[in-house]
């Protein structure tokens, strides 16, 4: 991890991400595969380059081509049914070295894979489901693209029963479990293994916050769940969250004890999951369509026609709202400019700096808030008014507006 963070920010497609970082991880997983094959396991390494793909999340359409994934598969000979996927990503957000998001997870996964490769294969005799896939995806920060290319295009994806997604939104500390699901049977297996291996750090409120959309972020968990039809756990470092996606997300903030503990727990968790006999009874959910607007092209029927017209209508409404928003912003700017000129307060903020907020920012925020509020009762203008009255802003600003108009205010 220290070596990889030394390259600094490395977004998907950058020279650092596609060159030395990718090569180093590939070298490490090849060494693990060689060791696994020498101890009785069967291991494969695959360098996936994706074909063209497209999908949508929250009506935002994303396309990609030629994305890179590094994949290590370890299984017992004659047992070719994949059971568990462990995922991380090695690309970074713009401007961040990405120690906790997500190179620390890459380091943990490599060491966990190495530890599995060193086990005595005899202890797994008679266990059908001993197969683990370690996915190091190369484009998560770019809208979850690489995980989608794996789960929808790679031949190993069809046999996956459950997954563990490793993320980071802070500089270390304990690993926080903040999402699990959706299949109840699969979740029971995962949570039973989690409760027996991890020092619990999870709560349902975190899952509620993430699922509600209050947190403007997403992880590969969504891709595996929605497009792979599989269930899993979503875990992340959250301590010192202020370093998330910043230049301060460096290797020095993650202690050796933290790294060792998380790797140890991850190994125990993975081993517990693959040894659970209930895993063979898990079936994947139906995968979502990847075509634009999720339309089906193989069969035409009146029902499909209605579905198409409904989605076309929704698309037209979305375009109309975007155009309306642009026009509203233009109208607001012109109206606000006219009011400021009419009252002669163009430079009033030189004498009263706090008026910058009231003259320029507050009207814009309120206008856009009203426009994007579907139920206007939810937007309590009284609460806004009370807040600013308590600050004394409304009274003071009103006074200065009228005194300027009458010519008694301070001269600028």
Q: Are 41 and 117 in contact (CB under 8 A)?
A: yes
Rounded Cα–Cα distance for residues 10 and 24 (Å): 14
The per-residue pLDDT for 129 is: 67
The per-residue pLDDT for 276 is: 87
The per-residue pLDDT for 388 is: 47
The per-residue pLDDT for 43 is: 95
Q: How far is the CA of 69 from the CAs of 47, 87, 147, 178, 268, in angstroms? A: 6, 11, 8, 25, 25
Q: Which two tokens stand for residue 19?
A: 């060159």
Would you tell me the crossing angle of helices 362-371 and 302-342 to the nearest 10 degrees? 160
The per-residue pLDDT for 78 is: 64
C-alpha dihedral sign at 168, 171, 173, 178? negative
pLDDT in tens, 267-308: 999 999 988 888 877 875 544 444 333 333 333 444 445 566
Q: Which two tokens stand for residue 62?
A: 């994303």
Q: Are 132 and 279 in contact (CB under 8 A)?
A: no
Residues of the chain with pLDDT under 50: 286-304, 374, 376-394, 399, 401-412
- Alpha helix segments (H runs only) across 154-288: 184-197, 204-212, 220-228, 256-274
Q: Are 104 and 259 in contact (CB under 8 A)?
A: yes
Rounded Cα–Cα distance for residues 180 and 203 (Å): 10
Q: Are 232 and 180 in contact (CB under 8 A)?
A: yes
**All structural domains of the chain:** 2-291 (3.40.630.10), 302-406 (no CATH)
The per-residue pLDDT for 58 is: 75
Catalytic residues: 140
Closest Cα to residue 191, out of 133, 278, 107, 132? 278
The per-residue pLDDT for 412 is: 41
The per-residue pLDDT for 53 is: 92
The per-residue pLDDT for 296 is: 36
Please count the other Cβ atoms lying within 10 Å of the Cβ belonging to residue 289.
14
The per-residue pLDDT for 120 is: 87
pTM: 0.70
């Amino acid at each position: 991890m220290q070596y990889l963070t030394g390259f600094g920010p490395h977004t998907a497609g950058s020279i650092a991400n596609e060159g030395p970082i990718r090569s180093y991880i590939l070298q490490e997983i090849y060494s693990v595969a060689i060791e696994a094959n020498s101890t009785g396991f069967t291991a494969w390494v695959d360098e996936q380059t994706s074909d063209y793909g497209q999908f949508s999340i929250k009506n935002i359409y994303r396309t990609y081509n030629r994305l890179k994934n590094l994949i290590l598969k370890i299984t017992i000979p004659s047992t070719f049914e994949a059971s568990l996927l462990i995922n991380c990503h090695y690309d970074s957000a713009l401007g961040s070295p990405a120690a906790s998001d997500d190179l620390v997870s890459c380091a943990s996964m490599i060491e966990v894979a190495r530890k599995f490769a060193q086990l005595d294969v005899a202890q797994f005799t008679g266990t059908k489901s001993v197969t683990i896939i370690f996915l190091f995806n190369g484009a998560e920060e770019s809208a979850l693209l690489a995980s989608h290319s794996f789960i929808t295009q790679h031949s190993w994806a069809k046999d996956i029963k459950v997954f563990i997604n490793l993320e980071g939104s802070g500089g270390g500390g304990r690993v926080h479990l903040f999402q699990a699901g959706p299949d109840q049977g699969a979740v029971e297996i995962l949570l039973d293994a989690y409760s027996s291996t991890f020092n619990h750090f999870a709560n349902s409120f975190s899952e509620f916050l993430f699922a509600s959309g209050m947190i403007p972020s997403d992880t590969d968990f969504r891709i595996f769940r929605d497009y792979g039809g599989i269930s899993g756990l979503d875990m992340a470092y959250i301590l010192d969250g202020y370093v998330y996606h910043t230049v301060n997300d460096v290797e020095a903030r993650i202690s050796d004890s933290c790294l060792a503990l998380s790797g140890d727990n991850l190994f125990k968790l993975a081993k517990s999951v693959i040894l659970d006999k209930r895993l063979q009874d898990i079936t994947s959910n139906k995968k979502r369509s990847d075509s634009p607007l999720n339309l089906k092209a193989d069969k035409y029927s009146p029902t499909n026609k209605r579905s198409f017209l409904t989605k076309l209508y929704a698309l037209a409404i979305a375009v109309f709202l975007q155009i309306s928003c642009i026009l509203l912003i233009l109208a607001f700017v012109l109206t606000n400019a006219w009011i400021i000129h009419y009252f002669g307060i163009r430079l009033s903020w030189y004498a009263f700096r706090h008026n910058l907020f009231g003259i320029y920012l507050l009207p814009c925020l309120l206008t856009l808030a009203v426009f994007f509020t579907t139920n206007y009762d939810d937007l309590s203008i009284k609460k806004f008014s009370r807040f600013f009255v308590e600050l004394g802003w409304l009274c003071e600003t009103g006074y200065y507006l009228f005194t300027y108009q009458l010519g008694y205010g301070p001269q600028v």
